[in-house]
Amino acid sequence: MSLPEVLQWIKFGQKTGTLIFERKGIVKKVFVENGLIVSASSNDPKEYLGQVMLCFGWADENILQEAFRLQTTTKRLLGRILIENYGINEQQILKALRIKIEETVYDLFLWEDGKFIYADGVLQLQQHDRLATAITIDQVIFEGARRSDEWKEFRRSFPTDDVIFQQKGGKRDIGPLSKDFITLKIYDCVDSTKSVRRILLETRAPEYRGFEALAKLFFGDFIEATKKSIAQPEKPLDDSPSLLMQAMDHFKSKNLDKSYGLIEEYIQTHPSDSEGQTLYGVVKDAYLRELYKLCPPEAIPELSLDISDLNEKIFNSREGFLASRVNGQWDVKSLMMLSPLGELESLKILKRLVDEGVVRWKEKDEANAKK
């Protein structure tokens, strides 16, 4: 079934239940009552409430890092902590929640493949995660179809994420486009050095909204490409069952980095293979444990190079983004909480930065003195 077909089935059946979508380790839950969407959740860090707060400037990284720490010790809701401890307006929290839920649902229309299951009943849905006003299926299908069509157009113009833009004719008034907060924020972030991926990471803009803003600025003649985007032919995925055996062999020999790469490639072509999914979970958990041994949660990383020299060592936008957050104050756990990249990806990058000599660990005595 296509996604619109699934949603139409929910609508006409007036279903009350939970749709669970999965693709490449990303799991999204869409909660419906009487054929209406009342909430959604995702394990994609880019779609967490904190990232929405950062995107719209309703909280900064320092406030969010402190709030996460309080949440760990007090077990209170993040929204409650931000309201009661940091004076964040409750309406901003509610608005952020709606944006989070809408983007989680609409992003499904950009998935080219995936699998889903449906279960009766709203599973594990808390009252504080419910929308005050439900979203209709017709609204979702209409907006999702629009986004899907425009996404294909964006990708024809910008087939890869490494294109770099500059403000055309210098910084200027972008007219009516400035009324959209994300478009204005993206425009301010364009500086002739950052790739599209780095801009999206820096602004925390949702994937579609970020590309939409770039397209408006580009076709409105406000930005121009300084490095052209050339689509590389996709390397065909190895569909051989031997990938599974290779991943298992590397896992047994404790070569977890290689094992994880192989099993991740395998499940892309075998998403319904239960044996592959089981091995993926086992390898990922073991790999995370290994990375945390090398990058302990309480350890504090600091840059061993001047920030202006980082381009010599940083090889992609994700590494540059994470390195720019290493300030000699935040420990590994704090960086993981703030990162939109995901726990495993962030740890892999941090390990590589340490291996490359870009980052080093702060001495314990010095770290304690800072605290």
Same domain? 285 vs 309: no
CB proximity list for 275: less than 8 A, separation 6 or greater: 244
Q: Which two tokens stand for residue 14?
A: 């007036």
Which structural domain range is residue 290 located in? 242-294
Retrieve residue 306's tokens: 């001047």
Which DSSP helix (H) or strand (E) runs through 11? helix 3-12
Same domain, 188 and 272: no
**CATH value at residue 162:** 1.10.10
Token pair recorded at residue 361: 């660990």
* Same structural domain, 255 and 277: yes
Residue 173 included in any domain:
yes
Q: What is the DSSP string of 134-145?
A: PEEHHHHHHHHH
For residues 188 and 314, membership in a common domain is answered with no
Return d(Cα 58, Cα 370) in angstroms, integer: 28
Q: Looking at the structure, do residues 187 and 276 belong to the same domain, yes or no? A: no
Asked if residue 232 is part of any domain, the answer here is no
Residues 6+ away with beta carbon under 8 Å from 92: 53, 56, 58
Last-in-domain residue among 124, 149, 174? 149
pLDDT in tens, the chain (371 residues): 899 999 999 999 999 999 999 987 899 999 999 999 999 999 999 999 999 999 999 999 999 999 999 998 998 899 999 999 999 999 999 999 999 999 999 999 999 888 899 999 887 888 888 998 999 999 999 999 999 999 999 988 888 888 999 999 999 999 999 999 999 999 999 999 899 999 999 999 999 999 999 999 999 999 999 876 555 555 555 556 688 899 999 999 999 999 999 998 888 777 778 888 899 999 999 999 999 999 999 999 999 987 666 666 667 889 889 998 999 999 999 999 999 998 999 999 999 999 989 999 998 655 555 54
Within a domain: 237: no
> How far is residue 296's CA from residue 361's CA, in Å, rounded to a whole number?
10
- Cα angle: 332, vertex 345, 197; to 5 degrees: 110
Please state the domain count of the chain: 4
d(CA 123, CA 40): 11
In a domain, 59, yes or no: yes
Phi, psi of 326 (to 5 degrees): -75, 110
The answer to whether residues 144 and 29 belong to one domain is: yes
